[in-house]
Structure 1
Amino acid sequence: MAPVAALAQAYDEVVELDPISVEQAEAVSDATTIVATTTAAGSGMPTDILNTASSVSIITEKEIERRDATTVEQVLQYTPGISTDYYGRDDRFDYFKIRGFDAYLYRDGLLVGENFGGVREEPYAFERVEVLKGANSTAFGVSDPGGAVNFVTKTPTGERLRNGYLTYGSFNHKEIGFDMGDRIDEAGTLSWRFTGKMQDAEAETDYSNDDETFFMGGLAWRPSAATSLTIVADYLYRDGYPNSSGYPAGLDFERDLFLGEPDFNYLDTDRKTVTAKFDHDFGNGLTFGSTARYSDTKSGFGYVFLGSITSLADTTVSRYYFADEGSTRDFVADAHLMYETAFGAFESRTLGGIEFRDTSDESKLWYTAAADIDWTNPVYTGGLDLNNTTPYQHTLTDTQTQSVYLQEELTYDRFIANLGLRHDWIQIEQTDYLYGTQASGDYSETTGRVGLTYRITDGLSVYGSYAESVVPASVGIEPERGKQYEIGVKYRPAGMRALFTASVYDLTKFNMTVTNPNTLLEETIGEANVKGFDLEAKAELTDRLSVTAGYSYLDSEILQSDNGIYDGNQLGSVPRNSGSVWVDYLVPGQGAFGDLNLGLGARYTGEYFRADDNASKTDAAVIFDAAISYNLTDQTQLALNVQNLLDEKHVAQGGFTTDYYNAGRYVSLTLRHAF
């Protein structure tokens, strides 16, 4: 300060300077931005996305809310490399593929199961959704080579949180939700969070309902900066409908026409889950982490689907009852140590751990003929009494998995090397109650991964990687294996919150089995390959303008199939070209007027074959979505969201005997308030 004092004396006057305060920048929450900067999806270790030698897309809480994404499919449909909506309005499962293949789901790094055939997750439970693209069983465990999805659960933060909303929408949709939390003691060692939603709704098809109840409570104990214990319990109940039952192929019908049976049209989910997470920092670079989860699920559906047209002149079509009833108990636990150190010019992070999973899954399936129906004058004949009908399949499958894994991240100057190795011991026992038989299988699988990243500048990196995957199949069938080669570039410009990525890949899946969408039965394909590239941009260009955009090119080919009948075909439900863009523009409020936010999105899906036989094809389509929100006050917002703005209609799946249309226009009005 001496030169300033001398200068002031020279001019014989006193100069007073404004106070200068220096504050540490706070981490940006996923609730306030669409651009995430870190992830644990690539290696299990928290890492800057630019340092991860794999393609990772993150959908934050803000983006989920802005687009009013109420299903996992809607959360993912603006992410490049992911195909959605190829089953139309079918609410049984979350239908999506990553880079041409079905995906496995994880929650907080622990396996949940497959998306096809699994429970439809509730997006309001999560603060972010991470998409790891490509084969990578070393990160979390079993997965298909196309990629995996990891849900990150909302947990107590120790900060005051009071959010609530009311929604009314199309098809008599009524919904109320809340997300609240706070500290219990003044020191903040104990904190809580309570999240929930209740939904009473119908769907676009006659005789359908779409009801849901979801509650999640969490308690966190942080006795010191080095130790934390979090326990979260949640309950999910759904009383919905499976699907529209379909429409006779080749004709055009209104979406609300129902050709099933009102008394046999249900989709039930009842799941209870408890998760515990413990972390401790021993100091000197050594930390311990452990997560365990137990879930108990009862689920089932029943509906009537259409067969072939029995008489075009009489406008009648054949029908069949189809029902599923299942119960699953699942326990999974992971424990790991991470050690960070430096030696010479090298920095090292090492993660080693073990995992145990025990799953018991009982399943019953029914299938029998129903009466024909006239689609011009439907006369319903009643439901099916499952108690007096013999199922065609009744099995109990017990699976135990023990795993050990090791991850290494080594940094030298601007080079970052990632190495991963995992070994899984899998024991499967299956009981067939109909035939009174038992079968078992033991599998021992090792998967690896290697990646190299070069940070060209602080905001630009390039990478290359090789990764393997494995999925245990049924008893007596070899596990499905995969491998992928990938190179990519990532750019995060200075002075702007943005991330631009591009990747090129070549992946192959071996011993492949798929579910035929026409017969709903598993078929052995053998081997398939997908080559392609993804482009993605997420950018908050200014305080007013933000953009999410992506494009994918996927060239799929079945290399080996049963008796060679599909060799050379493309994979079903995998478009070669797809792209999306979502733009948000903020009009700042003035005077008595609040902020106005305008959002518009477009999703392009190129033509695709509906099944691996390549017998029928769905044409390309563009679907628009829109969002308008207005801040009534600083704490209150009114939002209008429209999905499928122009009510685009096409056959998403079909061509055999039955067509299924994509979901029609849906409008919702939501009032949000922060207390």
Structure 2
Amino acid sequence: MDIEMRGGSKRGFVTRYRNAALLGTAIVAFTPTCLLAQQAGNSGSVTVLDEITVEGESGDDDAKSIVATRTTSGSRMPTDIMDTPSSVSVITAREIQERGARDVEQVLQYTAGVTTDFYGSDDRFDYFKIRGFDALMYRDGLTLGRPFGGVREEVFAYERVEVLKGGNSTIFGVSDPGGAVNFVTKRPRSERFGEAYVTGGSFRTKEVGIDFGDNITSDDTLSYRLTGKLRDADDEYDFSRDDEQFLMGGLTWRPSDATSLTVVYDYLNRDGVPGSGGHPVGSDFDRSRFFGEPDFNYRGTNRNTVSAMFDHDFGSGLSFSSNARYSDTNTDFGYAYIAGTPTDGSTIAKRDFFANDYANENFIVDARLQYDANFENVDSRTLVGVEYNDLSSSTDTYWGPAPSIDWMNPVFTGAPGSLPLITSTRTDQKTRAVYLQQELTFAEKLIATVGLRNDWLDTRQTNELMGKAAKGDDSEFTSRVGLTYRLTDEFATYASYAQSVAPPTVGLEPERGEQYEIGIKYSPADFPALFSAAVYDLTKKNVTVNVLDPFPRQVAIGEVRVRGLDIEAKAELTNNFNLIAAYSYLDAEIVEDGTTGNEGNRPAMVPEHMASLWVNYELEGDGRRGDMTFGLGGRYMGSYYFTDANMVSAGSSVVFDAALSYEVVENTTLEVNATNIFDTKYVANGGFGADFYNPGRAIYATLRRTW
């Protein structure tokens, strides 16, 4: 590996326009050629509905409320959350702005069942688990991949973030059993709107952002939206940076009331660092202390994405929708980290160099036909869909020893001239899927839901160092059944069974999951709110882990089981007072471990208890004084182990956040957001020769203008 440092991604970026053209072609190719609806010839038995809700439009005002009522993450059909036989949490744009969440981990950290921040000052990826397991990320229902190893998503690009908890491969396809995080892209609206902001604060942060749109034609036929941000910042440790350029533009064409086509292009470029590199075990240095190498400390991201979303209502209850996305991504990182802390009284820490270059090109399209009908006292919704996913990726990993460092008198030695290449892999995977979602509502009380899906995965994985290729040809069938009973218009109870199957490693059995869940939901009629509670039993088999001995590879080690409880509340109790509360209990156990003998232990990074509370109060303006809002939140995380061996653990912790906004003049506010306001410090990760602290206090001030 020859080292050449420059901003952004180290790999040269090449835009491949030819694949972007496939978006329009794919939508046409998947246009339905036959109707699944039975003609209403027997008029006495079938009444066909004339109206249908178009997918992609939740019906909620995500910019003005923290309480969402509808989602597509429960079945791919727009559905009332009360009618969904599973746990779904929605973080709206209003909540994201209210709490001042700046990244995905902050967006998710007040959600029941979700664990974040367990990698501390390692900033390479977004780190989170749902119900004790990994969870995949999606954008508009199309796979993005695992957060570990993926791109840190820009939350300003999204209208809402939907969290579906537990295994459910019948909806999104092959996925980890923890759940799914679905990002919903901001789209053009048929009205004039906008906002602009400037932000400054901790770590020399300077940021500007815009998000505005309008109709291009007077008849609402064509609309546009432009969203972007620029950031020049450091991070909380020395020799760091956190710069970003993001731009997104969208066009929506509505040739009729029944048809719409949206095309969105976005560009994301980040020039940052991978993390602090850790601190000596047992030390108590300031978070700003850095023991890596300033000249070898980079994390770049460069991604171009084109998305297309098409909807058409044929009438008589029949509609067609399709999503497609093409993306070209390049990322890299390189750094020196503390690999061992001596125990003989010495202050000389062992260090290693670690680097990675990754690139992928992905084209994915999903098309579905939905038919809604009423048969006397039975309402029926049927969704039939197909999906095609073509992913090509390559990854090179470099590792080697670095000069040791005296943490009492650190002397930096510079970047290495070269690093040994330890793995070089190319993966080509094509996935084809067909799925069915059926929902039957009896007498507006009992709702039966069934999901069936089959995924065919053709995988070719090439070890470039050894010149060997391995092929995998998998066919995976998953199912899901659920029953919801509306006790009243405000109360619903449900029970469900769902399966999941994780993307397989060539040569190994796929990781499979099963979940049983029962729950209750309450949505009062008097004010916007959603209260929910669920208990579940979730099992993952063929658990796969990375091992290094005698060479880097993956092995299947056994089975992990989590039984738990999730309680969550989001409520606008009055016009002035909002509340977000969550509690989770996770009884996690390694049931089988055929490699290391950890049976009976708790899996790593899974606390037993988690709780959070956020309250927001608005003091209405009086005379010359504008409206003021005050927000305060607290997050509790119980103790968890750093490894499956359960030898070292993090202690329990409580962290507080706060927010304040003041309306300077009409439509202009000054917002101040603070995370970890008391600068609570603890070791969030360790057990590998170094300690990684949790994020420290950060304060940002934003001046925002809306219209």
- TM-score w.r.t. length of structure 1: 0.94
Offset of 1:248 from its aligned partner?
Answer: 1.1
Equivalent in the alignment of 1:19: none
Q: Is 1:149 aligned with 2:178?
A: no
Asked if the contact 2:276–2:292 (Cα under 8 Å) also holds between the matched residues in 1, the reply is: yes
SS in 2 for 1:430: strand
Equivalent in the alignment of 1:437: 468
Offset of 1:655 from its aligned partner?
Answer: 2.9
Q: Is 1:103 aligned with 2:173?
A: no
Asked if the contact 1:597–1:629 (Cα under 8 Å) also holds between the matched residues in 2, the reply is: yes
**Count of aligned residue pairs for this structure pair:** 648
Q: Is 1:398 aligned with 2:460?
A: no
Asked if the contact 1:416–1:452 (Cα under 8 Å) also holds between the matched residues in 2, the reply is: yes
Offset of 1:313 from its aligned partner?
Answer: 4.3
1:134-190 per-residue CA deviation (whole Å, 9 max, x = no partner) reads 110011111111111000000001111120000001010000001010000100100
Equivalent in the alignment of 1:427: 458
Equivalent in the alignment of 2:536: 505
Moved over 4 A (4+): 310-314, 515-523
Q: 189, 196, 202: which one pairs with 2:228?
A: 196
Offset of 1:384 from its aligned partner?
Answer: 2.3
For residues 506 and 27 of structure 1, the distance between their equivalents in structure 2, rounded to whole angstroms, comes to 32
Asked if the contact 1:525–1:558 (Cα under 8 Å) also holds between the matched residues in 2, the reply is: no
Q: Is 1:486 aligned with 2:517?
A: yes
1:275-314 per-residue CA deviation (whole Å, 9 max, x = no partner) reads 0111100000000001100000000100011122357544
The one-letter code of the counterpart of 1:90 is D
Asked if the contact 2:540–2:561 (Cα under 8 Å) also holds between the matched residues in 1, the reply is: yes
The one-letter code of the counterpart of 2:225 is R
The one-letter code of the counterpart of 1:412 is F
What RMSD in Å do the two structures reach over aligned CA positions? 1.5
Q: Is 1:94 aligned with 2:123?
A: no
Asked if the contact 1:472–1:478 (Cα under 8 Å) also holds between the matched residues in 2, the reply is: no
The residue correspondences of 1:330-341 to structure 2 (distance < 5 A) are 330-341=362-373
In structure 2, do the counterparts of structure 1 residues 160 and 517 end up closer, same or farther at CA, with 3 Å as the change threshold? farther
Offset of 1:246 from its aligned partner?
Answer: 0.2
Equivalent in the alignment of 1:22: none
Query: Which is greater in Rg?
Result: 1
Q: 475, 489, 492: which one pairs with 1:458?
A: 489
For residues 546 and 130 of structure 2, the distance between their equivalents in structure 1, rounded to whole angstroms, comes to 16
The one-letter code of the counterpart of 2:701 is L
Asked if the contact 2:322–2:367 (Cα under 8 Å) also holds between the matched residues in 1, the reply is: yes
For residues 30 and 517 of structure 1, the distance between their equivalents in structure 2, rounded to whole angstroms, comes to 46
Q: Is 1:553 aligned with 2:585?
A: yes
Offset of 1:516 from its aligned partner?
Answer: 7.6
SS in 2 for 1:632: strand
Asked if the contact 2:369–2:385 (Cα under 8 Å) also holds between the matched residues in 1, the reply is: yes
For residues 264 and 65 of structure 2, the distance between their equivalents in structure 1, rounded to whole angstroms, comes to 25
Q: 389, 403, 406: which one pairs with 2:419?
A: 389
For residues 608 and 311 of structure 1, the distance between their equivalents in structure 2, rounded to whole angstroms, comes to 24
Offset of 1:562 from its aligned partner?
Answer: 2.3
Q: Is 1:447 aligned with 2:486?
A: no
Give the gaps of 5 or more residues in structure 1. 1-25
Asked if the contact 1:319–1:369 (Cα under 8 Å) also holds between the matched residues in 2, the reply is: yes
Q: Is 1:278 aligned with 2:310?
A: yes
Asked if the contact 2:60–2:69 (Cα under 8 Å) also holds between the matched residues in 1, the reply is: no
Q: 358, 366, 389: which one pairs with 1:326?
A: 358
Q: 109, 114, 118: which one pairs with 1:77?
A: 109
Q: 370, 384, 396: which one pairs with 1:352?
A: 384
SS in 1 for 2:704: strand
The residue correspondences of 1:228-627 to structure 2 (distance < 5 A) are 228-310=260-342, 313-385=345-417, 388-413=418-443, 414-514=445-545, 522=554, 524-563=556-595, 565-627=597-659
Asked if the contact 1:249–1:656 (Cα under 8 Å) also holds between the matched residues in 2, the reply is: no
Asked if the contact 1:517–1:611 (Cα under 8 Å) also holds between the matched residues in 2, the reply is: no
SS in 1 for 2:329: strand
Q: 156, 166, 171: which one pairs with 1:134?
A: 166
Asked if the contact 2:508–2:556 (Cα under 8 Å) also holds between the matched residues in 1, the reply is: no
SS in 2 for 1:168: strand
For residues 638 and 158 of structure 2, the distance between their equivalents in structure 1, rounded to whole angstroms, comes to 30
In structure 2, do the counterparts of structure 1 residues 612 and 308 end up closer, same or farther at CA, with 3 Å as the change threshold? same
Equivalent in the alignment of 1:15: none
1:625-650 per-residue CA deviation (whole Å, 9 max, x = no partner) reads 00000001121000010000000000
Asked if the contact 1:516–1:611 (Cα under 8 Å) also holds between the matched residues in 2, the reply is: no
The one-letter code of the counterpart of 2:420 is T
Q: Is 1:641 aligned with 2:641?
A: no
For residues 159 and 99 of structure 1, the distance between their equivalents in structure 2, rounded to whole angstroms, comes to 40
The one-letter code of the counterpart of 1:239 is D
Offset of 1:27 from its aligned partner?
Answer: 5.2
- TM-score w.r.t. length of structure 2: 0.90
1:594-629 per-residue CA deviation (whole Å, 9 max, x = no partner) reads 001000000000011111111111000000000000
For residues 341 and 365 of structure 1, the distance between their equivalents in structure 2, rounded to whole angstroms, comes to 54
Q: Give percent identity, aligned residues only.
A: 54
Asked if the contact 1:452–1:465 (Cα under 8 Å) also holds between the matched residues in 2, the reply is: yes
Equivalent in the alignment of 2:22: none
Name which of structure 1's ranges 329-338 and 521-530 shifts more when overlaid on structure 2: 521-530
The one-letter code of the counterpart of 1:453 is T
